[in-house]
Amino acid sequence: MRGPEALAEKDAVLCALLRFAKEDSGAGLIVLETIRPGLLNLTARITRNARNREELRATLLLAIWEGIRHYPLERRPQRAAANLLLDALHRTLVEVGRESAWRSRWSFTPVEFHERVAPQEIDRDVDGLLDRAVRAGALNSVEAEMILASRIDGVKLAELASAAGVSYNTMKLRRQRAERRLLLFLGFHPVPRGQQKRPSSFARVAGAGSQDSVG
């Protein structure tokens, strides 16, 4: 796959693996290893000047995994490796861009509005609170339902992930981001996290604690 063979031959092998990867996470991991050089280059480019490098890497890795498990073989059988990387880049930029847009918008809202939603003034009406957050643009309706279901109604995050057709880690990251924006909306300022040293192996994508082998 990394040799001088024709692109058509490489696509044939990769598409065969992607077909299995829809049901078999082991095949997905082989695809991940196959495209690892390109993924490492892409990761290096988009995290070069980023402050939240670890989170950006996690977002990109989740995006590439979702792309592997749900790749549209019938529509895009050619240049599969390049398509996977470009799709993952697009998903990552959309997700990070939405987060940045909310932070930028919130930073320019009038001080009086921040004071109206100060932590000590928040009531105990959870539905009303989430509704206000949706109207303010801090959350969308899907994120509000996700927080309500998992934090208040006791629905397991793995069940929500399965219903949405995404991995456990994808759903977990979505909730973390949504809750971070919600806390900011409520007047709580997030505490910056320092650099974390974690294993760099792509085997982390298959960690324990998930309904899907992506971990």
Distant-in-sequence contacts of 86-89, Cβ < 8 A, 24+ apart: 87/63, 88/39, 88/42, 88/60, 88/63, 88/64, 89/42, 89/46, 89/60, 89/63
| Alpha carbon distance 155, 153 (integer Å) | 6
- Which residue type occupies 192? P
In this prediction, residue 1 carries a pLDDT of: 80
DSSP 90-123: HHHHHHHHHHHHHHHHHHTS-HHHHHHT-GGG--
pLDDT at 140: 82
What does 126-185 look like in DSSP terms, one character per residue? HHHHHHHHHHHTSS-HHHHHHHIIIIIS---HHHHHHHHTS-HHHHHHHHHHHHHHHHHH
User: What confidence score (pLDDT) does residue 28 get?
Assistant: 92
A 10 A CB-CB count for 63 gives 22
Q: What is the pLDDT of residue 199?
A: 41
DSSP label at residue 78: S
pLDDT in the model for residue 190: 55
Q: What is the pLDDT of residue 114?
A: 45
* CA-based R_g, the chain, Å: 20
Q: What is the mean pLDDT of each run of 10 residues along the chain (215 residues)?
A: 86 93 91 91 82 78 89 89 90 72 53 46 68 82 86 88 81 86 74 46 41 43
User: Rounded distance, CA 71 to CA 192, Å?
Assistant: 35
